[in-house]
Amino acid sequence: MTNTSDNDLQQRVQDALNLIRPMLKADGGDVELVEVAEGGLVRVRLHGACGGCPMAALTLQMGIERTLKDRVPEVTAVEAVSPRETE
């Protein structure tokens, strides 16, 4: 992929996350895009209430991953990184 393609893909992923963000914020949480890796893997970091919520795995899979795959077909998987992991 070219740099322009990478930037476009990253922007489309960010736009899709922005659609989800209001629902997360309503529950006291948020999501941060860490990276869009090769092969369509998207790494995100959950913040606030979402970071320690017992339902975080469900939110990640059924909310974030499903929305990203629907909106950005290049996305193959979404993975949460720990707040302690560096970018």
Q: What is the pLDDT of residues 39-84, one digit of tens each?
A: 999 999 988 877 777 777 777 788 899 999 999 999 999 998 887 6
For the domain spanning 3-80, the CATH number is 3.30.300.130
pLDDT, one tens digit per residue, over 68-80 is 999 999 999 999 8
**Mean predicted lDDT score pLDDT of the chain:** 86
Q: Check: pTM over 0.85? Answer yes or no.
A: no
Residue 5 confidence (pLDDT):
80
Q: Report domain extents, the chain.
A: 3-80
Distance CA 49, CA 30 (A): 8
Mean pLDDT of 13-26: 93
Q: Is the pLDDT of residue 9 over 80?
A: yes
